[in-house]
Chains A and B, each alone.
Chain A
Amino acid sequence: MFIKIEPRPEPSRAMKYLSPLLAAALMLVSGLIIFTLLGKNPASAFHAFFIEPVNDLYGIGELFIKASPLMLIGTGLAVGFRASIWNIGAEGQLAIGAILGGYIAIIFNDSSGFFILPLMILAGAVGGILWASIPAFLKTVFNANEILVSLMLNYVAILLLAMLVHGPLRDPNGYGFPQSVLFADSAILPVLLEGTRLHLGVFLSLAGVVVGWVFLLKSFTGYQIQVAGLAQKAATYAGYKYKKLIWIGLLSGGVTAGIAGVLEIAGPIGQLLPSVSPGYGYAAIIVAFVGRLHPGGIFLSSLLMALLYLGGESGQMNLDLPSAVTGIFQGLLLFYLLAADFLINYRIRLNTLQQEAD
C-alpha cells in the first residue's frame, strides 16, 4: 500500500471550510498533550481553559469584548490579504489609533458632549490610516517590502505610545505612574447589557464586520481585489490599478486597527496605558486566515481566538500556567491551518496493491 499525493482537479470547497475545524481539533489535541506533559490533568485543564471562562453571562460578555478588536481588525486585514498584500502592522496601527483617540479624550476631559466619542473614533481611524499609509506609500513608490515595513512600524508605534504615556500624556496627578487620566464618562463607551461589561464598541465592531462583508462580496472593488489576489497579471490586463489596490489593502487594515485601538481605550481600559493590546494585531492575522478571509468566518474565528485569550487568563489563575500558553495555542492554530489547507488543492490517496497492478 502506498500513500500518494495528487492534485485535485479543482480546489475542494468542502476542505476549505473543514480545514479550520481540523486545525482547531489538532490544536486542541496538542494543547491537551502539552498540559499532560506539564503534569496537569487534561480533563480539568480543558475545563479550566475552555469551559470555565464562558460558563456564565459575564463570561460570554468577556468573550465578545475580547473578540471585538479581533473581528474588526481581522476583517480589515482580510481585504489586503485577499489581494496578497501582507499588512503585518495592525499592532502598530492600533497603538497610533489609541494615541490619537486618547489624546482627544484627554483634551476634552473637562467637557462633556455627544461629540467626544465620535471624534475619538474618527481620530483613531485617521491614526490607523496614517500609520498604514507609510508602508503603502513606500510600497507603491519605492517597491519596499510591505511585510517588513509594516512590521518595523509596530515597534516604532509601541515605543511612541509608551514614551507619550511616560511623558506628555501622563496624568499630572497620578503620582508619576505611567498612565493617563481616567477618561470622563463622555469618552467611555456605555455598557449595554447589565451584569456584563459588554459595551457599545462590540456592536460597532460587529457593524464593521457587516460593512466588510458588503465591501468584499458585493462591491466592484471587492471583486477587483479578489481577482488581483488570484492572478495579478490578469488583473493588470483587465486594467485594474494595482497600486490603488495596494493602498486599499493596507489602509483597510489600518482604519480598522485604529478604530479598534480607540474602542479598547474607551471600552475595557478607560485610559491610556503604556501598552493597550495583548497582541491583537498579530492575533487578528490568524483570525483572518482561520476565518477564510471571509467576514462571516472571521466573526466565528474571532470568538475562538478570544476564547484562547480568556482560557490563558483562566489557566493562569486556576492551573498556575503562564498566560504564554495563549501564544502557543495561537501559533499552533495558524500552523495546523496552513498545513491543513494543503488538502484544499491536493488529496492523499491510499493506493492498494490492486490499483498498483492496474
Chain B
Amino acid sequence: MNDSFAVMIIVATIASGIRLATPFLLASLGEALGQRSGVLNLGVDGVMLLGAFGAYYMVLQTNNLYYGLLVGIGLGLIIGLFYAFITLNLRAEQGVSGIGIYLFGLGMSDLLFQKFVGTPRPILPFMPLDIPVLSGLPIVGEMLFQHSIIVYIAFALVPVMSFVLHRTTYGLNIRAIGENPEAADSLGVSVMATRYSAIIIGNGLAGLAGAALAIELGIFQQNLTNAMGFIAIALVYFGAWSPKGVMIGSLVFGLVQAIVLQCKTFGVIPRSASDLAAMAPAIITILALVVVAKRFKQPAALTKPYVRGG
C-alpha cells in the first residue's frame, strides 16, 4: 500500500465520520438544551425514528428533500409539545416516561412503514454542496467542505447554541432554571414557558436528526436508528452539557463508526472483531459517564419537576 492511497483512505474515512456524526450531533444538541433547562428526555430514539419515517415518506411522495427535513422537524415539535405536557404539567417521572416515547416511536414508525410503504424503496440523498474555493483545497477540502447541506447546518448550530446559551437572556434563563428554578422563578422568569420551549426545540432537533439519518442513508427500515438516540443522550453527559463538548463526542462516535465500516469493507477484521467493535459506542459511553460524573456536575434540577412553593 503506497502513501497516497493511505492518505486517500484516511481522508475518506474522516469525511464519512463527519457525515455519520451529524445525526448524533443534531439529536444530542437538542437533548443538551432540554437537560440544561432541567428536563431529561429518554425518548430521543423514538422521536428520531418517527422523524426518519416522516421525512422518508415525504421524500418518496414529493421528491423534495427539504420537505422531508421539515416533516422531521415538525413531528419532533409535536412530540416535544406532548412530552412537555406530560413531564411539566403532569409531572411524570422522567426516568421512565421517555421509554414510553421510545416504544411508541419504534412501533409507530414500523407500523406506518409497513402500512404505507411495505417494500423499501430508496430515495436519493442530498448532493454534496461544495463550498467555493475551500472545497478545492487538497485533503482538507474533501474532508470538510464537500458535504451535504444538513452537515453544515448541524455544525453551524454548535456556535449558535453556545451563543444562545451564554450570550442571550433566553440562554441565561434556561441555565438558571436548570440549576435553581426557585431562584429563577422569584426573579420573574417563567419556569414553565422556558422549559416548554427548550423541550419543544430539543425534540424538533431530534426529529431533524432522524430525518437527516433517513435522507443520508436513502432508506427507512424497522428500527433504523438502532439506539443512536440513546447514545445521543449519553453524548450530552460525554460533552458535559456544552455544545462544543457534545460536538467532540459526536465526532468521536462518527469516526468510530466510519472506521468500523471501512474495516468491514476491506475485510481487514474477522466477524467476531467487528461484533466487538459494534459494542464500542456503548462501552465508550459508559467510560465517559464515569469520567464526567467525577469531573462535572449535571444541572442541579435535572429530572426534578418544579412545583412553586413545593
State the A residues within 8 Å of B (CB): 38, 86, 88, 134, 138, 142-145, 147-149, 151-153, 155-156, 159-160, 162-163, 166-167, 279, 282, 285-286, 289, 321-322, 324-335, 338-339, 341-342
Contacts and interface: CB of A to CB of B under 8 A. Distances in A.
Nearest to B297: A143
B104 A148 contact: no
A167 B298 CA distance: 41
Nearest to A141: B290
A12 B159 CA distance: 48
What are the 5 tightest A-B residue pairs by CB atom distance, in nearest-first order? Answer: A327-B107, A331-B104, A334-B100, A338-B92, A324-B110
B117 to A, nearest CB: 12
Nearest to B278: A159
Interface of B is mostly: helix
B286 A153 contact: yes
Contacts of A149: 286, 289
Given A38-B115, A147-B95, A330 B103 contact: yes
A148 B285 contact: yes
B285 A152 contact: yes
Interface residues of B, number: 47
Contacts of A159: 275, 278-279
B124 interface: no
Contact of A151 (B92, B105, B230, B293): B230
- Tell which of B89, B108, B282 has the most Cβ of chain A within 10 Å: B282
Given A163-B275, A325-B107, A342-B90, A144 B290 contact: yes
Contacts of B107: 324-331
B42 A163 contact: no
Contacts of A327: 103-104, 106-108, 110
B102 interface: yes
A86 B95 contact: yes
A326 B89 CA distance: 27
Given A148-B233, A342-B90, A331 B110 contact: no
A20 B8 CA distance: 59
A88 B92 contact: no
Chain A CB count within 10 A is highest, among B90, B91, B103, B294, for B103
Interface in B74-102: 86, 89-93, 95-97, 99-102
B286 A331 contact: no
A148 B100 contact: no
Given A144-B289, A160-B279, A163-B276, A152 B234 contact: yes
A324 B111 contact: yes
A331 B103 contact: yes
Given A152-B230, A285-B99, A339 B90 contact: yes
Interface in B272-307: 272, 275-276, 278-279, 281-283, 285-286, 289-290, 293-294, 298
B168 interface: no
Given A138-B289, A324-B114, A325-B107, A338 B222 contact: no
Contacts of A329: 107
B106 A341 contact: no
Contacts of B279: 155-156, 159-160
A282 B114 contact: no
A352 B80 CA distance: 33
Contact of A156 (B96, B237, B282): B282
Contact of A282 (B95, B99, B105): B99
B167 interface: no
Contacts of B227: 155
